[in-house]
A and B are shown apart, each in its own frame.
With several copies, the nearest count.
Chain A
Amino acid sequence: MAIKKLGFVVRTMPYKIEGSRLAMTHAIASQTVEIYLEDGDNVEPTVCFIGDGVLNCLKSQQAMKHYGLTSLEQHIKNSLLLDMNVMYCKEDLDKFGITENQLIMDAEDIGGETNAKIVPYSEIQKVMESVDHLLFC
């Protein structure tokens, strides 16, 4: 019986490359990983957005309307619906002047009960120290 913690750290902007999208889809895939593992074993993902990566976390992304593409907004909401631990770096939001009301903070509209957290970088550093493996995207 073991839980392995995986820390996804998103530092790239959305859409231009697939990094942030694949980070979310891989993190969400943790829901079904048990089929490959022994009873009681599991993985626990945390997703942190730092640097330019915080630009993934803005509300009202209309990528589906314009490009037929699931938005990063939808991915973040899906991960909140699954009660995943999602963190945004406060210093980077401040640097860009992005305020909480511009951000995807919850997934209430799809029935989610978990909120995203705005945390200082020091908290993200702690996540990096506590996880078993780091996956920077």
Chain B
Amino acid sequence: MGKLTIGSFSSLVGSVSLDFAVKLAQAAVQKGHSVDLWVSGNGTMLSKKGQRAFKDYSYLAKTCQELFATGKFQMTACEACAEARGYHKEDTMEGCKRFSMDWYLASCFSADRVLHIGGD
């Protein structure tokens, strides 16, 4: 079993790239791997607590909660990116961490595979 680190800079809704990251994480965890998900840039929106489920928008919070419960999944949001967008520590989804960008590099250090989703 390996460790996959996924880094995403994409926006929460609208860009299905972030849906891809979460669904891939889910599939990897189901197969027994462990996954670190780093959300940076507009991707930090995924870490915002209190997102309402609408059928017209991606709603990934529930899947993230299920993944946290497995103990095989970590999600960390870029602290500066979140603050710039007006999300403070108390706005962070339960189970999600906040660190500076070096956390992502450390996660890459120990990862067997890194999938970096750089685009918007």
Interface size on B, residues (CB 8 A): 32
Question: For the complex, what is the distance from the CA of A3 to the CA of B57, rounded to whole Å?
Answer: 31
B119 to A19, Cβ gap below 8 A? yes
A-B Cβ contacts below 8 A, count: 100
Contact of A70 among B55, B111, B116 (CB under 8 A): B55
B85-102 CB mask vs A (1 if < 8 Å, else 0) is 000000000000000111
Stretch of B13-21, B26-34, B66-74 at the chain-chain interface: B13-21
Q: Which residues of A contact B59 (CB under 8 A)?
A: 68
Question: Do B103 and A22 touch across chains, with their CB atoms under 8 A apart?
Answer: no
A25 located at the interface, meaning its Cβ lies under 8 Å from any Cβ of chain B in the complex: yes
Within the complex, the shortest CB–CB distance from B30 to chain A, in Å, comes to 16
From B56, B100, B101, B114, A133 is in contact (CB under 8 Å) with B114
| Interface membership of chain A positions 39-53, coded 1 if the CB is closer than 8 angstroms to chain B and 0 otherwise | 001010100000000
B103 and A36: CB pair below 8 A? yes
List the A side residues contacting B113 at CB < 8 Å. Answer: 133
In whole angstroms, what is the CA distance A72 to B43 when docked?
Answer: 20
Is the C-beta of A30 less than 8 angstroms from some C-beta in chain B? yes
Q: Count how many chain A residues have C-beta atoms less than 8 Å from C-beta atoms of the other chain.
A: 36
Complex Cα–Cα for A16 and B41 (A): 13
Give Cα A2–Cα B108 distance, bound, in whole angstroms.
13
Take A68-B59, A133-B111 as given contacts and tell me if A16 and B104 are in contact as well, using a CB distance cutoff of 8 Å: no
Bound: A28/B56 CA distance, A: 13
**CB-CB contacts of A18-44 with B at 8 A, as 1s and 0s?**
110111011001111101110001010
Within the complex, the shortest CB–CB distance from B104 to chain A, in Å, comes to: 6
A6-B108, A43-B108, A69-B55 given; A18·B102 CB < 8 A = no
Taking a contact as CB atoms closer than 8 A, the residue among A12, A29, A64 that contacts B105 in the complex is: A29
Residues of B within 8 A of A (CB): 7, 9, 13-17, 19, 40-42, 55-59, 100-106, 108-109, 111, 113-114, 116, 118-120
